[in-house]
Each structure stands twice: as C-alpha cells, then as structure tokens.
Amino acid sequence: MLKRNGFVSKAVQDIPPSGIRKFFDLITTIKDVISLGIGEPDFVTPWHIRDMAIYSLEQGYTSYTSNAGLIELRQGISEHLFNNYGLQYSPQDEILITVGVSEGLDLALRAIINPGDEVIIPEPCYVSYKPCTIFAGGKPVVIPTDADTGFKITPRQVEEAITDRTKALLLSYPSNPTGATMSKEELMKIANVVAKYNLLVISDEIYSRFTYDMPPTSFVSLAGMKERTILLNGFSKAYAMTGWRIGYAAGNKEIIAAMTKIHQYTMLCASIISQKAAIEALRNGKSAVEEMYNEYNQRRRVIVRGLNEIGLKCQMPGGAFYVFPSIKTTGLTSEAFAEKLLFEEKVAVVPGTAFGDCGEGYIRCSYATSLEKIEEALERMGKFVRNLLNKV
Amino acid sequence: MLEAKDKEILKILERDAKIKSEKIATMVGLSPAEVTAKIKELEDKGIIVQYKTIIDWEKAGEEVVYAFIEVKVTPERDVGFDAVAKRIYKFPEVHSLYLLSGTYDLSVVVEGKSMKEIAYFVAEKLATLDNIQGTVSHFILKKYKIDGKVLEPEEEDKRLAVTP
C-alpha cells in the first residue's frame, strides 16, 4: 500500500488542478452540448500544410532534428519576424523551436528564475502562467485587471508590483481569456517601466495574428525592448495547428542558449513532422490565415452584439477569439453561472475564475465555433438569462 | 475598385445567398441600411449576377446526367470564337460554356435526363454546327464538390469540449 501523499512532491501538491479540467469532467457527462469553451480554432489545419506533413513522412523524415530545430524553419521564422517587425533575429542562435508556446513558456521561466524570484503576471490570464512560475521556483505576483480598464495594465500597476526580487513581467496580448489587446502607445509606457527597473519581459504573442482593430504590436519592436524580451509565438492559433505542438522562442543569445540547454535535456527537439509542416505554413499559409482571420472577425461582432442584447455586458475585444462578458447582473458566481447554464441549456462556457481570482463575475466564451452554433448558443443563453432575472 | 466591405459582403453572400442583411450588417460592422444599399448597388452593377441554389438532384430521386464536351473549333474571321459560342449556348441543354486555353477550345457542360439524350444532342446538334472540327464527351460519374461546396457530410469536430 502506498501511503497517501507519500510520493508526490509538495510543490506539485500545493498547486490546485486547473479549473478548466474540473469543468471538462462535468461536460463529458452531458450530451448535445454547444461548447463555447474551446480554446483552439474550429478550423482544421489547412490542407496544403497537412499534405506537406504526409509528404515528409513519405520521404522518411522521421528522425530527431538539432536541438534548436531545423535551420530552414528557424530561417523562415527569422524572415517572418523581419518582415513583420523589421527586427533581425539570427536563425543560428537567437531562435529556438519549441513544442508549442507551452514549452517555450516553461523554458523561459526556468532559464531565468532563481529560487524566490518574482514574476509579475497580469490576470485574468492563461491557466499555465502561475503554475509554471511556481514549478520553476519563482513567485507569481498578480496584477488584477477588470472590464473597467479593458483588462489592460497600467504602468503604475506594474510599478506598484515591483519589489527588489522582481525578475520579469509576463505579458500576453491579445489575451486569452479576455481578448484584450494593448496599443503601441500603451505598451510603450509599460516598456519605460521595464527599462527603468531593469526587468525582463516574457511576451506570449500566440494570438498576435488575430488582432482586429489595429496592426498587432510586438513587444520586441518597442525601442530597447528586443534585448530584454523573450518572444514566444507559434503556429497553433494562426495556422490552426494546435495538435502539432509547434512554436518558437526568440530572444538574445544568452537566454536562448540557456533555454536550449534545458530543452536539449528535457525535450531534445520538437517533432520533425511538425517542423516540416511549420515550414510549409510560413511559406504558403498566408491566404488560409487571411480567411480564418476574416471569419473570426465576423463572429466576433456577432457574439459581442448577441451577448450585450441578452444583458451580459461585453466589450468588443481587440484580439484572439475570446470574449469575456460580465455576468454580474445575474447575481451568480462565475462557476455557478457556468454550471447552471450547462445543465439547463447545454451551453458550455468557462468560468472566469479559471483564469485568476479577478475573473470572478465573468465567463469566457470562445468564438472559435461556427456562426450557426454561436447563434444557437446565444439563443439558449438569452433564454437562460431571462429565466434567471425573472425569478429574482 | 470595390471597397473591402463590399468584398466581404460578396464573400458572405457567395457562401449563403439567403442570409439576412441584418446579420450581414453585424458581421461586417455596418448598419442594415448600409448593407442593403451596398447589395442593391452590387446587383445593379451586375457584380451580383444571380442568387442560385445548389441542389443534389440525385438525392431528390431525379435522373440528371451531366457531361463535359470538349469542342475543337475553327474560329471565324472578325468574330473569333464568340459567334460559335453564341450558337452553342442558346441551346437549353447547355448548362455552362467556357473558352479554354490548351488542346481544345470550348468546354460545354451539357445537362440531360440520360446519357442517350446527351449523346443524341452532341451528335445531332453540337457536332453538326459549322466551324466545329470535333468533339470528345466525358460523362460525369460522381460529384464531390460543386462551387466550393463539398457534398459529403462535414467531418465531425474532433476537439475536446473544453480546452484552455
């Protein structure tokens, strides 16, 4: 007999399981659910990319690659970064191919954190940021944000969160779960604070391709920020390639070398088939991305309008494929709202609290689902909210 | 030159001709009146040619046969291919007609109730026209995709019900 809690480390035990996981288990018990809870594209990877992967397999590309990844892919990414932001990243030693941004994030945190170092994390945020910081031995310091400020952070909030143990600021715009984006001007003010206090920035820009109302601003493109920013991006969202697990990190030599060291001993390399597919995505994926972009943009307007009409106040998010409406008028907690909605109307949304305590009073709805399903979900949600408010 | 919004509206209509202008309005971020006006203009200019329906006649139990007929033509002085094309497309049996580059000139899509009917049309009507040097008929055996629409049922969503 194993003793209870006998073997699992304290660090792991202390971290609560993901709020999304809990909800997932609940949903699988119910049939005919329309899910607005899915954090990945509803599109299947464009055919030419899949075709290239099949072709690569036929040609026998089944081996390891160098730790940093295929040089062709790193060159492609280097060109992509130059064309989009006018910045030079050397394919040789400033770009690392990772198993999705998830691995990139883990590597970045482990490469920079000494025990007890603090990482500033604006919330609501992606579910991994805090746990990965803790796994790396760091201490997450949360900046809570809300709808009043459009879920953006201010330079003042960052300054107030800084202590002499602060090592890095973790940014993620466009944001999962809020869809918030920050303009170049707003980010520049954050950059000033970063420079003043000599911080490092980890910028997760996985949703950058889906920035709707203005051109996307990469944090690395701001004056003086390239040297002190670890840029994380990948193919999952832009090219609908979540299952391929393929991303990259770009940054200064020293940090990329440190990340590569961890990567080499833990992951060895990203899958060669995914790397081959990613090369094809960069070369010929432009029009497919454009089409997905247009469709998300249309759905975005439909869902925001629909939610506001129902009475769930919701801002027009500038990016990603999420909206984060307030459910405060219903008087329910996020979790109770999501659960009741699931049982009564069979619509799945994710409680805002899965993304941080300040997500209370909100739910995350993904519009990476067909327009027909979004409309059906809005109808059901409308009925649900009307019933709730009439009872009061 | 069309504006970006016009193009967006056209793309939406191309996929679904029945969609209401209120819905288009929300999708593209314009008012319903603006969308209605834009559609009217696109119709008037002949950019929107017609609203049609894709029908799977086979499923409806109707016998419909299509064939692609390659036609080699001697172009006429002054009018080129257009005169002979006109003589061909006036037949109601002709579903579509294209002028092509390559080894033959015209591609005629013919619609009929049976292969025999189409064969008769080609032999009696089409091949006997002046300027026509020869024809090759290809009957359609199965339709997989028409006008961008795949006829097989869509692949199911393979994603998990909730993901971060």
Q: What pLDDT score does B152 carry?
A: 84
Task: Say whether B29 and A301 touch across the interface (CB within 8 A).
Answer: yes
The residues near A115 (Cβ < 8 Å, ≥ 6 apart) are A137, A138
Average pLDDT, chain A: 96
Q: Does any CB of chain A come closer than 8 Å to the CB of residue B11?
A: yes
- From residue A59, give the alpha-carbon distance in Å to each of A52, A56, A71: 10, 5, 18
pLDDT digits (tens, 9 = 90+) for A195-226: 999 999 999 999 999 999 999 999 999 999 99
- Across all residues in chain B, what is the average pLDDT? 93
- Strand pairing category for B65-73 and B106-112: antiparallel
In contact, A377 and A303? CB cutoff 8 Å: no
ipTM of model: 0.86
A93 touches chain B (CB under 8 A): no
Residue spans of the domains in chain B: they are: 4-44, 65-142
Instruction: Give the rounded percent of residues in chain A with a pLDDT score beyond 70.
Output: 98
- CB-CB under 8 Å, B26 with A301: yes
**B162 vs A24, A176, A299: nearest CB:** A24
Residue segments in chain B with a per-residue pLDDT below the cut of 70: none
Of B8, B157, B164, the CB nearest to A20: B164
Interface contact flag, A294 B12, Cβ < 8 Å? no
A194: three-class secondary structure by DSSP:
helix
CA distances (Å), origin B12, targets B1, B7, B21, B152: 18, 9, 10, 22
- Tell me the helices (H) and strands (E) count for chain A, helix number first: 13, 12
Q: What is the pLDDT of residue A222?
A: 98
pLDDT at res. B147:
86
Are A291 and A258 contacting, i.e. CB atoms less than 8 angstroms apart? no
| Residues contacting residue B146 through CB under 8 Å, at least 6 positions apart | B54
The answer to whether the Cβ–Cβ distance between A20 and B8 falls below 8 Å is no
Query: Considering chain B, what percentage of its residues have pLDDT values greater than 90?
Result: 79
pLDDT score at A4? 61
> Which domains are present in chain A?
10-45+287-386 (3.90.1150.10), 47-284 (3.40.640.10)
Q: Where are the alpha helices (H) located in A162-244, listed in sequence order? A: 184-196
Residue A1 pLDDT exceeds 80? no
A348 at B interface, C-beta within 8 A:
yes
Position A20 scores a pLDDT of: 84
Query: Residue B28: its pLDDT value, please?
Result: 96
* pLDDT for A54 beyond 70: yes
- pTM of the complete model beyond 0.90: yes
* Residue A303 to chain B, least CA–CA distance (Å): 9
| Single-letter amino acid code for the residue at B125 | K
- In the CATH hierarchy, which fold is given to the domain comprising B4-44? Arc Repressor Mutant, subunit A (1.10.10)
In 3D, which of A369, A366, A308 has the Cα closest to residue A175? A366
Q: What are phi and psi of A11, to 5 degrees?
A: -60, -40
Q: Is B64 exposed, middle or buried (0-12, 13-18, 19+ CB in 10 A)?
A: middle
pLDDT at A153: 98
pLDDT of residue B58: 85
pLDDT at site A391: 65
Rounded mean pLDDT, A142-171: 98
**For residue A213, what is the nearest residue in chain B, using CA coordinates?**
B29
Q: How far apart are CA B130 and CA B69, in angstroms?
A: 16
Measured in residues, chain B has a length of: 164
Which among A35, A176, A302 has CB closest to B161? Answer: A35
* pLDDT score, position B1: 74
Q: Is A305 exposed, middle or buried (0-12, 13-18, 19+ CB in 10 A)?
A: middle
What is the CATH code of the structural domain delimited by B65-142?
Answer: 3.30.70.920
Q: Does A308 touch chain B (CB under 8 A)?
A: no
